């Protein structure tokens, strides 16, 4: 109960003053997000150096490749939560699923993805090295993987993980998606740890029971640059908080892998110290 006998709103609702203000403040931070700069910061060398085993992007692609192809992940519908202007998250998944949905909060990011999918050129980044790397991992042909991606990615939808219903109602089958992938989203869009945990519960609701969650995130990060001078606060997480949040939101952890950033991967665009990869299943 709030002071003075005033009956406060029920716990965990969006209408808690601090929560609503914090979520609005995060949305305001994202107004200046610059997809081209963001891609430059995180998706070129050294963070995306395919000649280096200890580069972040090859590590992420390896985790996703193993998780999608070890035989337990199956179904029709894969949703990527908070895609940003990137599609590396679904390169392995697009071979397993016949319907892939990309999602983001910002129109500028959705436009970036739609542009690549239409194949008319003018992209902010050349995804060729990414597709070639995954082809090598999976023994697939380059022209086959890009055609497959354009075939199965059926939409790029707006999403807000702070809403109990993050997607439009008709976006998914009534049973939910068969698999979710989400990379660096929840901790980078939440004002605090309670909001991170609520967002995890919201996306859990998008998944059918027995469906899989492949979650990539930052450890020990407090900010990142979403563009020149666009400093976005991040909820600093440790492994214990990640594992506890998964358990609390109705997931069984299958595997947790951790990558510790070598010094030369710290390039001044954030203060992230590690990256986690989680494979989990909805109870
Ligand atoms: N309410 C909201 N609801 C839903 N989605 C929202 C909301 N609000 C904002 N978004 C959207 O989330 C997306 C977060 N986005 C940037 C953070 C990553 C960044 C910072 N942390 C360390 C790190 C990063 C990137 C690479 C590497 Cl290697 C590292 Cl270490 C992830 C994009 C993509 N998935 C990626 O993997 O790069 C963004 O596109 C928003 O538009």
Note the pLDDT tens digit of each residue in 154-173: 999 999 999 999 999 999 99
Mean pLDDT for 116-144 is 94
- How many structural domains compose the chain? 1
Mean pLDDT for 169-187 is 97
Q: What confidence tier does 277 reach under pLDDT thresholds 50, 70, 90?
A: very high
- Would you tell me how many other CB atoms lie within 10 Å of the CB of residue 93? 23
Round the average pLDDT of the chain to a whole number and report it: 94
Residue 274, both tokens: 């590690």
Note the pLDDT tens digit of each residue in 13-64: 455 667 899 999 999 999 999 999 999 999 999 999 999 989 999 999 999 9
Burial of 102 (0-12, 13-18, 19+ CB in 10 A): buried
Q: What is the pLDDT of residue 2?
A: 41
Quick check: 112 and 124 in contact, CB under 8 A? yes
Q: Taking 80 as the threshold, does the pLDDT of residue 200 lie above it?
A: yes
Instruction: Tell me, using a 6 A CB cutoff, whether residue 131 lines ligand 1.
Output: no
50 prior amide bond cis, ω within 30: no
Please identify, by atom number, the ligand 1 atom nearest to the C-alpha of residue 275: 30
Lowest mean pLDDT: which of 8-17, 51-60, 107-116, 144-153? 8-17
**CATH no. for residue 76?**
3.40.50.150
Q: Taking 60 as the threshold, does the pLDDT of residue 253 lie above it?
A: yes
Lowest mean pLDDT: which of 118-127, 191-200, 245-254? 118-127
241: containing domain: 2-282
Q: Taking 60 as the threshold, does the pLDDT of residue 220 lie above it?
A: yes
Query: Model-level pTM?
Result: 0.94
Q: What is the pLDDT of residue 120?
A: 86
Q: For residue 3, report the distance from its CA to the centre of ligand 1, in Å.
A: 38
Quick check: 129 and 165 in contact, CB under 8 A? no
Mean pLDDT for 186-211 is 98
Instruction: Provide, rounded to the nearest whole percent, the portion of the chain with pLDDT above 70.
Output: 94
For residue 31, the SS3 value is: helix
Q: Which residue is closest in CA terms to ligand 1's atom 1?
A: 160
Q: What is the pLDDT of residue 18?
A: 73
Q: What is the pLDDT of residue 176?
A: 98
Q: What confidence tier does 1 reach under pLDDT thresholds 50, 70, 90?
A: very low
Instruction: Tell me, using a 6 A CB cutoff, whether residue 106 lines ligand 1.
Output: yes
Q: What are residue 196's phi and psi, to 5 degrees?
A: -60, -45
What is residue 54's DSSP assignment?
Answer: T
| Distance between CA atoms of residues 18 and 191, nearest Å | 9
Instruction: Tell me, using a 6 A CB cutoff, whether residue 41 lines ligand 1.
Output: no
Note the pLDDT tens digit of each residue in 4-21: 444 544 444 455 667 899
Counting ligand 1 atoms within 8 A of each CB, the residue from 41, 57, 82 with the most, and so the one to mutate, is 82
If residue 111 lies in a helix (H) or strand (E), which one and from where to where? helix 107-118
């Amino acid at each position: 109960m709030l002071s003075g006998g005033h009956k406060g709103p029920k716990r965990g609702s969006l209408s808690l003053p601090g929560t609503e203000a914090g979520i609005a403040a995060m949305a305001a931070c994202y107004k200046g997000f610059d997809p081209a700069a963001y891609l430059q910061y995180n998706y070129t060398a050294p963070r995306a150096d395919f000649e280096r085993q200890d580069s972040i992007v090859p590590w992420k692609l390896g985790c996703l490749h193993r998780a999608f192809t070890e035989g337990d992940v199956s179904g029709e519908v894969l949703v990527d939560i908070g895609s940003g202007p990137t599609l590396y998250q679904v390169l392995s998944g697009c071979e397993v699923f016949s319907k892939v949905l990309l999602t983001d909060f910002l129109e500028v990011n959705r436009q970036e993805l739609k542009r690549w999918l239409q194949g008319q050129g003018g992209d902010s980044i050349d995804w060729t090295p990414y597709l070639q790397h995954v082809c090598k991992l999976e023994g697939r042909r380059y022209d086959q993987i890009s055609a497959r991606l354009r075939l199965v990615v059926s939409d790029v939808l707006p999403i807000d993980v702070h809403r109990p219903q993050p997607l439009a109602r008709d976006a998914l089958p009534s049973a939910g998606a068969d698999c979710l992938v989400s990379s660096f989203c929840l901790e980078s869009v939440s004002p605090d740890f309670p909001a991170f945990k609520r967002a995890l519960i919201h996306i859990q609701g998008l998944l059918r029971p027995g469906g899989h969650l492949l979650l990539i995130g930052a450890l020990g990060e407090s900010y990142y640059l979403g563009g020149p001078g666009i400093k976005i606060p991040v909820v600093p997480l440790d492994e214990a908080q990640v594992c506890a949040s998964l358990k609390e939101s109705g997931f069984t952890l299958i595997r947790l892998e951790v990558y510790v950033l070598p010094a030369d991967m710290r390039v001044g665009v954030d203060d992230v110290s590690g990256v986690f990869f989680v494979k989990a299943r909805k109870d």
